[in-house]
Amino acid sequence: METGKGRLRRSRVPALLLLLAAVLSLPAILVGINQWNRVSEVQGGARAVGTFHSEGSNCFRHRCWVDFEIDGRRVEADLPALTSSRNNKVPRDGKPIVIRYLASDPTTVAEEDGYGFVVATVFLLGIPTLALLLAGVLRLVFGPPRRDPAPQG
């Protein structure tokens, strides 16, 4: 059984698109796993209410932190990179925020129930991957038709 000469050529572009999709999905997966672990690490920790602060419009590129009090002393701790700096398009700078922190290390904090931002950001980072994956599959299924060799006669 011979598949013909054009078979490899026909699947070259879809294979390249699928490979590119796999490579582009790695950062989204790594960022998601890292932030998910950080948020889940502190969910069993102590609960506190602190004041949210941000140096910019988002916590992905700029520093976001929270000030809170433990046993009469003030603690300043950085929030994870995927923490939302806005609540319904209203900046949260200077507003109270409910956090969880590790009793052994009060500088390791995350917003209580902060999983939603991690999932949303991973999906947003994964949109180009899905587009390339879809393009590769569509090209493979509906690609250029096979050319039959001209009849010899």
Give 20-46 pLDDT, tens digit per residue: 888 888 888 888 888 888 888 888 899
At which residue do the structure tokens 């910019």 appear?
Answer: 56
The residues, any chain, with a CB within 8 Å of residue 12's CB and separated by 6 or more, are none
pLDDT at position 38, please? 84
Query: What residue ranges in 6-89 does DSSP mark as E strands?
Result: 46-54, 64-70, 73-78, 86-87
| Higher per-residue pLDDT: 132 or 68 | 68
Domain range list for the chain: 11-142
pLDDT digits (tens, 9 = 90+) for 64-94: 899 999 999 999 998 887 777 677 667 778 8
Task: Please give the structure tokens belonging to residue 109.
Answer: 């904090």
Query: Could you give the CA distance from residue 49 to residue 95 in angstroms, rounded to a whole number?
Result: 10
pTM of the model: 0.64
pLDDT at position 147, please? 64
Other beta carbons within 10 angstroms of residue 121's beta carbon come to 18
Query: Could you give the CA distance from residue 38 to residue 76 in angstroms, rounded to a whole number?
Result: 17
